[in-house]
């Protein structure tokens, strides 16, 4: 049996417009390197149209799907995963458990941002909703993010269908009502439990795998 050289996250390319890798290509994905939560990730895989060896590259994680954890057995893959980038050693997965925990987070975000033209805006909106939920430290900027008039409500941009748009409009109406009582009274407003409930339901909508036709 080949020697286990380490554990790594594996994903497949979901986008058709990713220059260096074809859709469906299997990529080995390293953990976040730059404090951005892994929006851009270092990957190792076989370049589009190339029968040659695997190579190391940086790609936006938004173009990846089907995250899972696998053991690394191929020396060629391991060499590329551990190769320094711009003379800097890259952080590796410390354990299978660490990789599995991050996969849960990445898989959720992959489900959230699929099917729209502005996936990063969709994920950002999803996280702003989380800051309105019980147990989170309230941030006024979370409300501002939800109420942002520049956020497109055109179907297919940030939101997949009219069900999502209608739910967002309902939430905005509630927040508008509370705002008239003064920002200082956000959490004390009797409507806030309703805000929590609506925000939670929108998160469920945004994380669906398919839109409502």
**Structural element, H or E, at residue 72:** strand 64-72
Quick check: 7 and 70 in contact, CB under 8 A?
A: yes
In angstroms, rounded to a whole number, what is the distance separating the alpha carbons of residues 147 and 25?
38
Per-residue confidence in pLDDT tens, the chain, 213 aa? 589 999 999 999 987 667 889 899 999 999 999 887 788 999 999 988 777 789 999 999 988 999 999 999 999 999 999 999 988 999 999 999 999 999 999 999 999 988 899 988 999 999 899 888 876 666 678 888 999 999 999 999 999 999 999 999 999 999 988 888 766 667 778 888 899 999 999 999 999 876 544
Q: How far apart are the first and last CA of the chain?
A: 49
Contact 25, 12 (CB under 8 A): yes
Query: Tell me, what's the pLDDT at 50?
Result: 73
Distance CA 202, CA 58 (A): 32
Taking the C-alpha atoms of residue 178 and residue 184, their distance in angstroms, rounded to an integer, is 10
In the prediction, which pLDDT does 213 show? 42
DSSP string, 96-116: HHHHHHHHHHHHHHHHHHTTS
Residue 179: HSE in the Cβ half-sphere, 13 Å Cα cutoff: 10
Q: How far apart are CA 97 and CA 103, in angstroms?
A: 10
* Residue extents of the structural domains in the chain: 6-111, 119-206
Rounded to an integer, what distance in angstroms lies between the CA atom of residue 14 and that of residue 114? Answer: 9
Distance CA 45, CA 27 (A): 5
Residue 37 near residue 51 (C-beta atoms within 8 A): no
């Amino acid at each position: 049996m080949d020697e286990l050289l380490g554990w790594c996250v594996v994903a497949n390319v979901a986008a058709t417009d990713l220059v260096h890798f074809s859709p469906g290509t299997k990529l080995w994905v390293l953990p976040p390197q730059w404090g951005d939560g892994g929006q851009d990730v270092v990957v190792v895989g076989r370049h589009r149209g190339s029968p040659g060896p695997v190579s190391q590259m940086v790609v936006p994680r938004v173009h990846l799907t089907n995250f899972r954890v696998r053991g690394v057995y191929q020396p060629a893959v391991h060499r590329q995963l551990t190769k320094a980038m711009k003379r800097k050693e890259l952080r590796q997965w410390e354990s299978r458990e660490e990789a599995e925990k991050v996969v849960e987070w990445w898989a959720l975000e992959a489900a959230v941002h699929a099917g729209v033209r502005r996936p990063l805006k969709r994920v950002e909106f999803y996280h702003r909703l989380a800051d309105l939920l019980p147990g989170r430290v309230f941030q006024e900027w979370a409300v501002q993010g939800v109420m942002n008039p520049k956020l497109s409500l055109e179907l297919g941009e940030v939101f997949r269908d009219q069900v999502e748009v209608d739910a967002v409009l309902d939430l905005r109406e509630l927040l508008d009502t509370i705002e008239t009582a003064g920002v200082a009274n956000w959490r004390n407003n009797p409507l806030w439990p309703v805000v929590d409930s609506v925000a939670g339901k929108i998160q469920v909508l945004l994380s669906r795998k398919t839109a409502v036709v």
